[in-house]
Structure 1
């Protein structure tokens, strides 16, 4: 008996989670595997945030909250947007959810009709196309090659827009490539969007605080104020504050969209954990020194991996401009043979080879819509990354 919804037929599980699970399975068998599949900081959540959560729990903040979030957390988010991004949002323009992924899911559920198109610049975060498909939309993949810095250009955007286009997704800095957009880049895209008033913009800015080389972050809504009533700015505390497990994401956008997303939330998960919301208030309103400290560490790790990969004959790596991933080119390995005589037919085969022979878990570029690459997370210690690069080097050296 088949009782699974037909909507799931075209939807794939998370590739990064699958890579991590494969690593865990090998570890359970006693194999020494370095898991670089999932992207999450290895730093502990700052102590003042944990203390705020403890105080909230002891103080009785253990009941349901409003579906959109507590007044305190939405005020803190509004303050963050004003202070860091130069954006004036009121608490009524803001909604909180169980991670940025749920924010995106709710936004799509609130807006997509069957057949609506969502433009996804590739490489993209693995969950974007799957969420679009699950909710009846059609992903429109626009390949943004390394030659254009893995960025969407105005020309590529114009060609991709049709009368069915409902959303454009932007992710900056990007997962998996680490690509960023300057204010001028965003304005150029905004000029194209101005000619197509049916297109909404989902700007995923979850990595905004992880930028390298002195780059300054500019929110899409700040760069293109004339499009603010069509833009949903997505963010959260997971990456910047080492709070992935707290599951708090948030968004600011047009009041009708925020209201619709709040309705969905009220009828699905009700609200976000009250204690996690209190912790988010402390994260956003409290000391910010940890944010810059984390970023410096991520940049040092980025530099270590870039230098290490450059020494490996057969791999390439454009230095990521932000986030904490390395999107490694493996085109010269395709078609070659492993020591066991197996042909590496694509980047998925390369990732499989690195897992079983190099004992390093990575995610193939096909999962991000642009091949031939594989992604590793650099959000772990320099010692582990040094070991991982050495293992990758040894495995690649055996390919004939």
Structure 2
């Protein structure tokens, strides 16, 4: 029956992340450092609000754009935390996770023949979403020696007149790199010069360990050019609630809402009510989670460096991206042999783009005990197999 599949779907490779974790599911005693999901449970006030809403019989549709009360609270939150000003009536759309928001941006603004510039390495969904929207993808390399920050010189080399959209995903998955204001200003000039739109995926903005996160939309002349995407999964440990959002110019949000109302209708009401409570009462719990991630981050960087592997220090998100090129194994071979010999699952860097070769991604959204055991096993593997 494969002949019935559309060619662009049939030719799309499966996620490089899921390949390994389908294999992990068949093995025992594996420590997985692969899935980017908080090991914390959703804060109790948030859970209680969702439970109470169900007990009160709040199980109906919301408006296509989402609960207005949630959009109002989000507008206030973005203004206070990032200096962004959005009209909750026309400029914010609640989505089924940030993933749907990314998909909506791509489908609303892209046409066949358009090109999307995607930093490399970066999250696995951007390229496939662009392809499903009928556009082409061009990866823009970032480099460890430049702290994996996107540079105008690399954008300039990748640019052609067909480029319409630039993806910015900082703090970055998988590298943990951040972009500070002085890094973003030249990018903004490039965007303005070439009349581009920007998809700014700020899902990890709260997980910034050095300085303050700068939203691209807050830069001069970038507010209307930027589609700001975020959600509640990472900051509030709400992955299963599936609530994200996109904020931007009303003309663009209106286009995305059309697609949303025909395909998704609305995000789940229980998750929206819980998200509203998260904004109102869970900031302390969020800060405690961020502090725990910071401790784990330091442990992981020290652990990989101690075993002789270079490891860029992540300043955001909850991943480390150690350089395993000294072992002379490819990223995929290293991950496969580590899983086979020591039962530790990591993700090959190539799952996130061509520039990921020579690296592996390890999530530290796990307990300190699990991380310490994983580092011991990886250390044994490296010491036994390689002379570093």
TM-score (structure 2 length as normaliser): 0.96
Q: Shift in Å at residue 287 of structure 1?
A: 3.7
Please say if residues 199 and 228 of structure 2, whose CA atoms lie closer than 8 Å, have aligned partners that are also in contact: yes
Q: Does 1:258 align with 2:242?
A: no
- 1:79 counterpart (68, 76, 81): 76
Q: Does 1:204 align with 2:201?
A: yes
SS across alignment from 1:167: strand
Please say if residues 23 and 34 of structure 1, whose CA atoms lie closer than 8 Å, have aligned partners that are also in contact: no
Q: Shift in Å at residue 166 of structure 1?
A: 1.2
Q: Shift in Å at residue 228 of structure 1?
A: 1.4
Aligned to 1:34: 31
SS across alignment from 2:173: coil
Aligned to 1:7: 8
Q: Does 1:293 align with 2:291?
A: no
- 2:170 counterpart (169, 172, 189): 172
Q: Counterparts of 2:282 and 2:269 in 1: how far apart (Å)?
A: 21
Regions of 4+ moved over 3 Å? none
Aligned to 2:217: 221
- 1:352 counterpart (330, 336, 345): 336
Q: Shift in Å at residue 283 of structure 1?
A: 0.7
Alignment of 1:103-182 (within 5 A): 103-182=101-180
Q: Counterparts of 2:130 and 2:319 in 1: how far apart (Å)?
A: 24
Q: What RMSD, in angstroms, separates the aligned Cα atoms of the two structures?
A: 1.2
Q: Counterparts of 1:252 and 1:161 in 2: how far apart (Å)?
A: 26
- 2:317 counterpart (305, 319, 323): 323
- 2:369 counterpart (366, 376, 383): 383
State the aligned residue count. Answer: 382
Q: Counterparts of 1:12 and 1:323 in 2: how far apart (Å)?
A: 26
Q: Shift in Å at residue 366 of structure 1?
A: 0.8
Q: Counterparts of 2:20 and 2:78 in 1: how far apart (Å)?
A: 35
Q: Counterparts of 2:203 and 2:39 in 1: how far apart (Å)?
A: 17
SS across alignment from 1:258: helix
Q: Counterparts of 1:65 and 1:18 in 2: how far apart (Å)?
A: 36
Aligned to 1:338: none
Q: Counterparts of 2:279 and 2:240 in 1: how far apart (Å)?
A: 17
Q: Counterparts of 1:21 and 1:67 in 2: how far apart (Å)?
A: 35
Of 370-379 and 7-16, more deviation after overlay is shown by 7-16
SS across alignment from 2:252: helix
Aligned to 1:341: none
Q: Does 1:97 align with 2:83?
A: no
Q: Does 1:306 align with 2:339?
A: no
Aligned to 1:56: 53
- 1:281 counterpart (254, 276, 288): 276
Q: Shift in Å at residue 44 of structure 1?
A: 0.9
Aligned to 1:396: 382
Q: Shift in Å at residue 111 of structure 1?
A: 1.5
TM-score (structure 1 length as normaliser): 0.93
Q: Does 1:237 align with 2:223?
A: no
Q: Counterparts of 1:239 and 1:159 in 2: how far apart (Å)?
A: 33
Q: Counterparts of 2:132 and 2:335 in 1: how far apart (Å)?
A: 27
Q: Deviations over 1:183-238 (max 9, x none)?
A: 111111111111111x110111000111114x21111111x230211100110000
Q: Shift in Å at residue 159 of structure 1?
A: 2.2
Q: Shift in Å at residue 136 of structure 1?
A: 1.4
Q: Shift in Å at residue 17 of structure 1?
A: 2.5
Q: Deviations over 1:308-337 (max 9, x none)?
A: 111113x22111011100111111112xxx
Q: Counterparts of 1:82 and 1:51 in 2: how far apart (Å)?
A: 27
Unpaired segments of 5 or more residues in structure 1?
335-343
SS across alignment from 1:298: helix
